[in-house]
Chains A and B, each alone.
Chain A
Amino acid sequence: MSAVNVLFDAPGRRGRLRNNLLTAVSGLALLAVLVWTVLKLDEKGQFNWEIWEPFLTAEVWQGYLIPGLMGTLAAAALGAVFALVFGAVFGIARLSDHRWIRMPAGVIVELFRAIPLLLLIFFIWFLAPNVLGGGDYALFAIVLALTLYNGSVLAEVVRAGILSIPKGQSEAGYAIGLRKGGVMRLILLPQGITAMMPAVVSQLVVLLKDTALGYFIVYTDLLNMGFKTLPSAYPGTKLTAAVVIGVIYIAMAMALSAFATWLEKRSRRSRRTTAKPVAVSAVEGPAGGA
């Protein structure tokens, strides 16, 4: 086996035989299930060309998938930018020496981390027209809610990143006569950013997936366009539509995840900081949001 782990010794002669047997049996069982499913689906015409053909036509992409994807990416991009700003501001505020800055920032961060995101989206979506006058607030509600929630998680990431820098670094800064602002700006932040980058990118994956909550407030995102509107315009394409948009979501999220893993490897061997990379799970499980 390739990955050595603590549970298993390197197998001996009998162990290898047993492993090969297990491999063969489980492989055959899985293959049988797979073949049976494919045959059944084929029997029902799920591989018929007319069900898949729409996904190769320009109308489907131009009319449904690309506008949906654009909506998803717009919400994700806006949410990411604002959440990063929010996270930086509140993360640093939580480290302030002044109680009157530290306390409110802490309360806000803890609060928005604990509120279910969908409730926040509903609340903003219903409240916005009352406060700001009529209009379509779907994008606004998603972006603001994503900012508050992911910004709060990012604030914790920023805080953990800065706290992970050895104390000697800031002491050295004070010793050469820098003030608080200078120590933060010139010493802690540049090193902290290297340490927190992997966790930040992992959180952006969560943010990207959470844009799908736009489904509930009829925002034109990939899920609404691809799974609700599209199958009703092209009958019988429900399963194929789910496969196609599922693949798009998975590809986007996995690309970002791979980037986060690469960054983590890079910052682990980086000499630019003495801080260890911040683990996402140390802040909150990547399962956050929806």
Chain B
Amino acid sequence: MDELIQYGPELFSGFLKNLLLSVLIGFFSLVVGTILAAMRVSPTPVLRAAGTTYVNVLRNTPLTLVLAFCYLGLSDTLGLIFSTEVPLYNSFWLAVLGMSAYTSAFVCEALRSGVNTVPMGQAEAARAIGLTFFQSVRLIIFPQAFRAVIAPLGSVLIAMIKNTTVVAAAGYTVDVAAVMRETFDTTGVSIPIFIGIVLAFLVVVLPIGWYTGWLSRRLAVAR
């Protein structure tokens, strides 16, 4: 218990960094994921191919590799492309960049599968009663797609929050996992510290799962 009291403040501030990362990554990956999903359903073949390639590459690469590449390879690569030395050594933003790129692929797939669950007849009926494109999207398609998307998006969100523990691969070594590792390294393994961190994650993660599950059940219609 002594270790938990001694390292508690440091661990807690590390955990808050994980949460801050989660908020930023959640925002950016939602924006990029929406754009990607729009690309993947667009009638333009080039955009569709570009979106599909991006999603397939990012979804099938381990997050650790994506982050390690951001940290160790990106400044090299950008330096090579822009021929000047790019000062890309802010590891916090590198972590945000890498994880947003990774998470947006999953957000894209969740959104896309949500749109695909809306039956074709719904759009046809909307058209038949004379709604315009935007009206039918706003009034008919989006509400139904939203309902189908809540639970998968909730899972993506939970996975993303848990994944923020990997940001040390991007060189960002003040998050809770890195701090935990350091305390284990210096003072030996401590079970109270581990339990404390796990409880912190449970407090954040479990309610999200319950709420999204409850919401998607409540909004579900009997078909």
Q: Which residues of A approach B to under 8 Å, CB–CB?
A: 1, 3-9, 11, 15, 19, 22-23, 26-27, 30, 37, 40-41, 43-44, 46, 110-111, 114-119, 122-123, 126-127, 130, 205, 209-213, 215-216, 223, 227, 238-239, 242, 245-246, 249-250, 253-254, 257, 281-282, 284-290
Chain A interface, DSSP helix/strand/loop, else mixed = helix
- For residue A124, give the distance in angstroms from its CB to the closest CB of chain B: 10
The answer to whether B177 and A215 touch across the interface, beta carbons within 8 angstroms, is no
Residue of B nearest to A211 (CB): B62
Nearest chain B CB to A167's CB is how many angstroms away?
18
Interface centre among B57, B77, B123 (most CB of A within 10 A): B77
List the A residue with the shortest CB-CB distance to B209.
Answer: A114
**B71-88 toward A: CB 8 Å interface, digit per residue (1/0)?**
011001100111100000
Check B110–A285 contact: CB distance below 8 A. Answer: yes
A sample of 10 more A-B contacts (CB under 8 A), given A209-B60, A227-B69, A239-B77, is A6-B119, A11-B43, A30-B50, A116-B177, A118-B177, A122-B184, A227-B65, A239-B76, A242-B69, A287-B160
- Tell which of B151, B159, B201 has the most Cβ of chain A within 10 Å: B159
Instruction: State in angstroms the CA–CA spacing of A97 and B43 once bound together.
Output: 52
A-B contact count (CB 8 A): 189
CB within 8 Å of A: which of B14-65?
41, 43-47, 50, 56-57, 59-65
Is B94 in the interface zone, CB < 8 Å from A?
no
For the complex formed, measure the closest distance between the CB of A232 and the CB atoms of chain B, giving whole angstroms. Answer: 10
Which residue of chain A is the closest to B197 with respect to CB atoms? A119
Please give, as numbers and ranges, the residues of chain A lying within 8 Å of B191 by CB-CB distance. Answer: 127
Q: With A114-B202, A119-B180, A127-B189 in contact, do A40 and B197 touch (Cβ < 8 Å)?
A: no
Main secondary structure of the interface of B (DSSP, over half): helix
Report the minimum CB–CB distance from A219 to chain B (whole Å).
11
Q: Say whether B62 contacts A288, CB under 8 Å.
A: no
Given contacts A1-B43, A116-B162, A242-B73, contact A249 B152 (CB under 8 A): no
Residue ID in chain B nearest A24 by CB atoms? B46
16 A-B pairs with CB atoms under 8 Å apart are: A7-B115, A11-B43, A26-B46, A30-B46, A40-B80, A114-B158, A116-B165, A119-B198, A123-B189, A130-B189, A209-B60, A212-B64, A242-B73, A250-B60, A281-B151, A290-B166
Complex CA gap A223/B66 in Å reads 11
Complex Cα gap A27–B151 (Å):
35
Query: Could you say which residues of chain B place their CB within 8 Å of the CB of A40?
Result: 80-83
Which residue of B has the minimal Cβ distance to A128? B189
Given A6-B122, A9-B127, also A23-B44 (CB < 8 A) = yes
Which B residues are in CB contact (< 8 Å) with A289?
159, 162-163
Asked whether A5 lies within 8 Å of B106 as measured between CB atoms, the reply is: no
Q: Which residue of the partner chain, among B41, B72, B156, B168, contacts A285 with CB atoms under 8 Å?
A: B156
Asked whether B43 lies within 8 Å of A123 as measured between CB atoms, the reply is no
Nearest neighbor of B166 in chain A, beta-carbon distance = A290
Which residues of chain B have C-beta atoms less than 8 A from A1's C-beta? Answer: 43, 45
Whether B194 sits at the interface, judged by CB under 8 Å, is yes
Residue in B closest to A288 when the chains form the complex, CB atoms: B159
CB distance from B63 to the nearest CB of A (A): 4
Q: In the complex, what's the smallest C-beta–C-beta distance from A251 to chain B, in angstroms?
A: 8
A23 and B46 in contact (CB under 8 A), knowing A238-B73, A287-B159? yes
Chain B: minimal CB distance from A245 (Å): 7
Most buried by B among A41, A130, A227: A227
**What 5 pairs between A and B have smallest CB-CB spacing?**
A285-B155, A212-B62, A253-B60, A126-B189, A287-B159
B110 touches A281 (CB 8 A): yes
Q: Is the CB of B120 within 8 A of A4?
A: yes
Which residues of A are found within 8 Å of B45, using beta-carbon distances?
1, 23
The residues of B that contact A118 with a CB separation of less than 8 Å are: 165-166, 177
Measured CA separation A138–B190 after assembly (Å): 18
Q: Is B205's CB within 8 Å of the partner chain A?
A: yes
Which partner residue on chain A sits nearest B60 by CB separation? A253
Residues of chain A contacted by B41 (CB below 8 angstroms)? 3, 5, 7-8
Contact of B137 with A by CB under 8 A: yes
Residue of A127, A254, A281 near B113 (CB, 8 A) is A281
Please measure, in the bound complex, the distance between the C-alpha atom of A111 and the C-alpha atom of B158, giving whole angstroms: 13
Q: What is the distance, in angstroms, from A158's C-beta to the closest C-beta of chain B?
A: 18
Q: Could you tell me if B159 and A210 are in contact, using CB atoms closer than 8 angstroms?
A: no
Q: Would A250 and B61 count as touching, CB distance under 8 A?
A: yes
A114, B160: Cα distance in complex, Å: 12
Contacts of B206 in A (CB 8 A): 110, 114
Distance, CA A6 to CA B115, complexed state (A): 8
Nearest CB of chain B from residue A221's CB, rounded to whole Å? 10
